[in-house]
Amino acid sequence: MATYLVKVFISYRKGVLDPQGVAVEKAAHQLGFTKVRNVRVGKYITMEIEADSVEEVKREVEEMAKRFLVNPVIEEYTYEVEEVK
Amino acid sequence: MATYLVKVFISYRKGVLDPQGVAVEKAAHQLGFTKVRNVRVGKYITMEIEADSVEEVKREVEEMAKRFLVNPVIEEYTYEVEEVK
């Protein structure tokens, strides 16, 4: 058994309205950061998983994504796994 | 002038209560993902910035982080820059 650190990056699919992204972009422009575009605000989830292998961790993460972490209609995700202990 | 893609990862500092992380961890355990621990939910912000160099992009991002993107009392952040066009 080892401990793995998992980082999951969830963002809205292209074409899905992202009001938080719009708000951040507006704030940026108002504060003088005028060269900023296409701001999108998603989720950055980190967790630790105990498992015997990276493959087991990947299965767990993909199963969690499917079951409850990600809404595939409006969101897409990527993830990274690294062993920590 | 080139266009750069910037990815900003914002998470709560250690010790700061993260109710969303607690909720995700509880959901994971209830659904049988019992080996998941220390779930933290942060923000994953992507944006495009027009600039003459990576250094200019870094200055913009760090200035935005300081001015409005990140609350340094409870949050910490990292970021990545890559040229896209």
Contact assessment for residue A46 and residue B11, using Cβ atoms and an 8 Å cutoff: yes
Q: Strand B2-12 to strand A36-51: parallel, antiparallel, or no bridges (unpaired)?
A: unpaired
B14 in A contact zone (CB under 8 Å): no
A24 in B contact zone (CB under 8 Å): yes
CB contact under 8 A, A64 and B28: yes
pLDDT beyond 90 at A85:
no
Q: What is the pLDDT of residues A49-66, one digit of tens each?
A: 999 999 999 999 999 999
CA distance A27 to chain B (A): 8
Residues spanned by the domain of B37: 2-83
- Mean pLDDT within B32-55: 98
Phi, psi of B70 (to 5 degrees): -125, 140
Residue B25 sits in a domain whose CATH number is: 3.30.1280.10
Beta bridge pairs of residue B85: none
Tell me what pLDDT residue A14 has: 93
Could you say which of A21, A45, A67 has the minimum Cβ distance to residue B39? A45
- Interface predicted TM-score (ipTM) of this complex, two decimals: 0.93
The conformation of residue A15, written as its DSSP 8-state character, comes to T
pLDDT beyond 90 at B41:
yes
pLDDT beyond 90 at B85:
no
Number of domains chain B contains: 1
